[in-house]
């Protein structure tokens, strides 16, 4: 076994604290890389707090992981020692089901292996994420990281990036479309960048008026403060798509009224409580409410290559791992500008 160290929550009620643990030896198809940066996703906070379901503890969060390869198994073809490497939200899947065969490992019908708070495909061994110094992953779930991009800013592409890129591609959002991005946080700011890069007219819907200047710098064409009734009413019936990145419980019906006829409300934000909704908010205007989960491995590589070509990275605040709790507190207040990334040298 390989000795690793990281930050873990021992229960859903405890703070993160230093923890030493074991990773598997590098197998024939495995890549080991030392973690240089790991992004802080709101899902980390949801999971250590058991917001969604009872978690697997101790939990080492982190699924926006980039670093440099230090060892490869003897059958590994795609990586060599010294390469940049990244891993997102999954470290394995069954590889045989219909979804896996279509490159949709995120929808593996037999359950993919989440990078943390999950289990390997033996359905027993717990997985530990990126708030740690090193990781061992099967090469098929390791991504090539472009050399021309800022490395710390690249880490959030592995979750916030692919989670917003994938639905925009699936629904073919682009020129001629009016896209609203709901919530300007880690996912939201990437949604704005991709929406603009794909040619859509982008509006940010935000609870935070003070984010307007940033939204415009990110390329957004319009900014609407959702708490201001007048501003909200001015965009009723305006959008082809809403990309909903909100982490907290909210009323979907309010936002459905902002869609055009046949518009689609795409949920990527995953609030803790089930929502209530009248069927009429969909019937009137033939509207859809849809969801999307991260993206497949091939699509994640496509997104990274798209970012390399278009010079897109996340806007980040680099933090010392000892300040993770302050980062979480700010995240809960919506005060993220626009992704915290842990400098793993501080571990």
The contact set with ligand NAP (CB under 6 A) reads 41-43, 46, 159-160, 163, 183-188, 206-208, 211, 245-248, 250, 268-270, 292-294, 331, 334, 336
3-state secondary structure of 343: strand
Look up residue 199 and give its DSSP letter.
Answer: T
Q: Which residue is nearest to ligand NAP (CB)?
A: 185
The closest of 326, 181, 323 to 246, measured between CA atoms, is 181
Residue 334 binds: one of ligand NAP, Zn ion, none (C-beta under 5 to 8 A by kind): ligand NAP
Residue 93 binds: one of Zn ion, ligand NAP, none (C-beta under 5 to 8 A by kind): Zn ion
Binds Zn ion (CB under 5 A): choice among 4, 8, 26, 41? 41
Residue among 133 and 288 whose Cβ is closer to ligand NAP: 288
Residue 183 binds: one of Zn ion, ligand NAP, none (C-beta under 5 to 8 A by kind): ligand NAP
Close Cβ partners of 152 (under 8 Å, ≥ 6 residues apart): 36, 37, 316, 318, 341, 343
How many Å from the N-terminal Cα to the C-terminal Cα in the chain? 21
* Cβ-count burial 11-20 (b if 16+ within 10 Å, e if not): eeeeebeebe
**Residue 181 Cβ vs ligand NAP, minimum distance, rounded to whole Å:** 9
Sign of the CA dihedral 310, 311, 316, 319?
positive
Residue 38 binds: one of ligand NAP, Zn ion, none (C-beta under 5 to 8 A by kind): none
* Cβ-count burial 215-229 (b if 16+ within 10 Å, e if not): beebebbbbbbbeee
CA distance 100 to 114: 14
**Residue 184 Cβ vs ligand NAP, minimum distance, rounded to whole Å:** 4
Residue 94 binds: one of ligand NAP, Zn ion, none (C-beta under 5 to 8 A by kind): Zn ion
Question: CA torsion, points 65, 68, 71, 74, in degrees to nearest 10?
Answer: 80
43 binds Zn ion (CB under 5 A): yes
**Residue 38 Cβ vs Zn ion, minimum distance, rounded to whole Å:** 11
Residue 108 binds: one of Zn ion, ligand NAP, none (C-beta under 5 to 8 A by kind): Zn ion
**Residue 168 Cβ vs ligand NAP, minimum distance, rounded to whole Å:** 13
Residue among 155 and 225 whose Cβ is closer to Zn ion: 155
Residues within the interface to Zn ion (CB under 5 A): 41, 43, 93-94, 97, 100, 108, 110, 159
């Amino acid at each position: 076994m390989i000795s690793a160290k990281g930050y873990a929550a021992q229960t859903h009620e405890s703070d993160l604290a230093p923890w030493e643990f074991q990773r598997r030896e590098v197998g024939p198809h495995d890549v080991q890389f030392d973690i240089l940066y790991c992004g802080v996703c709101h899902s980390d906070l949801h999971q250590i707090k058991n917001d969604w379901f009872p978690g697997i503890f101790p939990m080492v969060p982190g699924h926006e992981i980039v670093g440099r390869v230090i060892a490869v198994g003897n059958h590994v073809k795609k990586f060599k020692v010294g390469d940049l490497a990244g891993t997102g939200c999954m470290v394995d899947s069954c590889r045989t089901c219909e979804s896996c065969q279509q490159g949709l490992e995120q929808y593996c019908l037999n359950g993919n292996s989440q990078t943390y708070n999950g289990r390997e495909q033996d359905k027993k061994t717990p997985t530990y994420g990126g708030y740690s110094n090193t990781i061992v992953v099967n090469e098929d779930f390791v991504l090539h990281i472009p050399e021309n991009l800022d490395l710390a800013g690249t880490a959030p592409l592995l979750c916030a990036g692919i989670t917003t890129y994938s639905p925009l591609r699936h629904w073919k959002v682009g020129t001629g479309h009016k896209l609203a991005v709901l919530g300007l946080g880690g996912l939201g700011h990437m949604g704005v960048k991709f929406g603009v890069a794909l040619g859509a007219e982008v509006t940010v819907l935000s609870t935070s008026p003070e984010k307007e200047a940033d939204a415009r710098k990110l390329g957004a064409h319009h900014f609407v403060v959702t708490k201001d009734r007048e501003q909200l009413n001015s965009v009723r019936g305006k959008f082809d798509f809403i990309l909903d990145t909100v982490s907290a419980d909210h009323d979907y019906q309010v936002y459905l009224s902002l869609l055009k006829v046949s518009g689609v409300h795409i949920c990527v934000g995953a609030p803790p409580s089930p929502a209530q909704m009248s069927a009429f908010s969909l019937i009137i205007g033939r509207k859809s409410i849809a969801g999307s989960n991260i993206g497949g491995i091939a699509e994640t590589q496509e997104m990274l290559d798209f970012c390399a070509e278009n010079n897109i990275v996340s806007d980040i605040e680099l933090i010392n791992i000892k300040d993770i709790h302050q980062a979480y507190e700010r995240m809960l207040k919506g005060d993220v500008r626009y992704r915290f990334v842990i400098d793993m040298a501080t571990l």
